Structure 1
Amino acid sequence: MTATGVSGGAFPWGPALLFCPADRPDRYAKALERADAVILDLEDAVDPSRRTAAREALAASELDPERVIVRVNAAGTDDHDADLAALDVTPYRAVMLPKAERVADLAGLRDYDTIALCETAAGVLAAPDLARHDGVIALMWGAEDLVASIGGSSSRRPDGTYRDVARAARSAVLLAAAAAGRAAIDTVHLDIGDLDGLADEAEDAAAVGFAASACIHPSQVEVIRRAFRPSEEQLRWAQEVLAAAEEAGGGVFRFRGGMVDGPVLEHARGVLRRS
């Protein structure tokens, strides 16, 4: 796996990354079949009493290593060290580190391509430093642990939209990733039945530059894929405006009644990348 993000190389996976509890090996292959990549979760999805069994299942699994991410437990915990010992005997080399808060947390992950999960107040503030670390290929943010870390009780308003602190964290992590040439991954939508809300959030994620969205149920995968896939109209616009730029020979030009300059052309190229 050689990708280093949107600026440093192509994102190695498609837009829909599906979590799967690592203590449910019966679901591994099915989850991978449904999604662009599977995140085998040794942390929050697994009861502490079952983590040893989860590691054994992980070590025995035989999935496509190019499409597997393993979420280990947080640095500094006994579970973290045990997770890395189990991971070492597998071919999987993409790791998600939860509650990443400082560069030192990445010290044990030198042999892995790492997604740093910024889901605490300290983690969000450290996002620029984490993103610049050599082993980090992407940042992800998390809403629920973030709000818990600052003493709150809800990341969303009654209408389902994110509260301002969550929106600020989301933007901060996205900007930190982009500034370092890394990809950014949007967090999960916990209301499985709210596919319209998921679609709105995934469409926004694609529009502002996230490379992918994580999800927790197979029914969310295609919603995310559709949101990240440009419409025929968007694709046609991108192709036509780039063709017009070639004909114009450089500089600002007029296209369909509007002005086109460098940033607009970058938007068009972004549409083509997502296609």
Structure 2
Amino acid sequence: MPSPDVFPFTMGPALLFCPADRPERFGKAADRADAVILDLEDAVAPAGKELARRAIVEQLADAGAHLDPDTTIVRVNPVGTEDFRLDLECLAETPYRTVMLAKAEGAAQLKALDGYRVIALCETAVGVVNAVSIAAEPNVVALMWGAEDLLASLGGLSSRNDDGGYRAVALHSRSAVLLAAKAAGKEAIDAVYVNIPDLEGLGAESRDAVASGFGAKACIHPSQVAAVREAYAPTPQAVTAATELLEAASTAGTGVFQYKGKMIDGPILKHAQSVLRRAR
């Protein structure tokens, strides 16, 4: 199989998981989100995984239901499992070349996905500790972290405190994966928000994600997509302010300058450029 060129991850900001054994949901998920993640791992019971693989292949026969390979991700089972081997056999029959590797734990695992653009899901203690070397692999386009699997790998009980905020170890892991991804020039994807009815909490967490540098956030229900998109979309006022600031910088020359009573330097200009990128 020829190896496609690895390109920067540009699917975000709202990525929607869809169980791969529910083909009747594929098209709806793709229509509602920026990208759909067909899940062959946790969302599918062991007895249903073969059905799920067959569903991914069979939907390709229906031209009306054919998902766009540029906005379709397939989450495969962990490297070394029999299901992973079967997942790759399934993918070889499809045009889908962007995969999410569940429980990624080391750079060597990425060799098994040569020819695919990989979103490495760091959701165990080993995966988080090795995030830097994982992100450095050439076929990795993004890192994502997973809170609940991470805490399970630690023998913990929950990733969140009673007030809904993340525990310190989860926050550390979130930051570690973000830093590893961006240090390698890759994208970072924030974990899912499992309290589906709490759209206010999802919005707040999504706003923190975009302010921190995460390029996308994964969703587990269609109702979450709008909240994520709203958080990532800069307001008209923010776009105007960023545009005016960059115009002022173009006439100020190089170095630090004063603008509306504030000191403006390189990092501030990069923030403004980021706003305009998100607006586009």
Cross-structure match for 2:151? 147
**SS of 1:214's equivalent?**
strand
Tell me how far 1:191 sits from its aligned partner: 0.4
Query: Does 2:52 match 1:54?
Result: yes
The one of 34, 37, 42 aligned to 1:36: 34
**SS of 2:105's equivalent?**
coil
Query: Does 2:271 match 1:267?
Result: yes
CA distance in 2: counterparts of 1:88 and 1:256, whole angstroms: 57
Letter in 2 for 1:75: V
Aligned 8 A contact 1:119 1:143 in 2:
yes
Cross-structure match for 1:204? 208
Cross-structure match for 1:19? 17
Query: Does 2:173 match 1:169?
Result: yes
Q: Does the C-alpha gap of structure 1 residues 79 and 141 become closer, same or farther in structure 2, counting only changes over 3 Å?
A: same
Aligned 8 A contact 1:3 1:12 in 2:
no
CA distance in 2: counterparts of 1:253 and 1:144, whole angstroms: 46
**SS of 1:26's equivalent?**
helix
Aligned 8 A contact 1:143 1:166 in 2:
yes
Tell me how far 1:3 sits from its aligned partner: 5.9
Tell me how far 1:108 sits from its aligned partner: 1.5
**SS of 1:38's equivalent?**
strand
Tell me how far 1:234 sits from its aligned partner: 1.2
Aligned 8 A contact 1:157 1:163 in 2:
yes
The one of 128, 138, 145 aligned to 2:142: 138
**SS of 1:92's equivalent?**
coil
Cross-structure match for 2:84? 80
CA RMSD of aligned residues (A): 1.0
Q: Deviations over 1:62-120 (max 9, x none)?
A: 21111100000000100000001001100000000011001121121101000000000
CA distance in 2: counterparts of 1:187 and 1:42, whole angstroms: 18
Aligned 8 A contact 1:118 1:127 in 2:
yes
Tell me how far 1:12 sits from its aligned partner: 2.2
Runs of 4+ in 1 over 3 A off after TM superposition: 1-5
Cross-structure match for 1:8? none
Tell me how far 1:4 sits from its aligned partner: 4.0
**SS of 2:90's equivalent?**
helix
Query: Does 2:230 match 1:226?
Result: yes
Aligned 8 A contact 2:6 2:138 in 1:
no
Aligned 8 A contact 2:19 2:43 in 1:
yes
Q: Deviations over 1:14-34 (max 9, x none)?
A: 200000000000000000000
Aligned 8 A contact 2:123 2:149 in 1:
yes
Aligned 8 A contact 1:4 1:181 in 2:
no
Aligned 8 A contact 1:234 1:271 in 2:
yes
Cross-structure match for 1:70? 74
Q: Percent identity?
A: 57
> Unmatched 5+ residue regions in structure 2?
60-65
> Unmatched 5+ residue regions in structure 1?
6-10
Cross-structure match for 1:93? 97
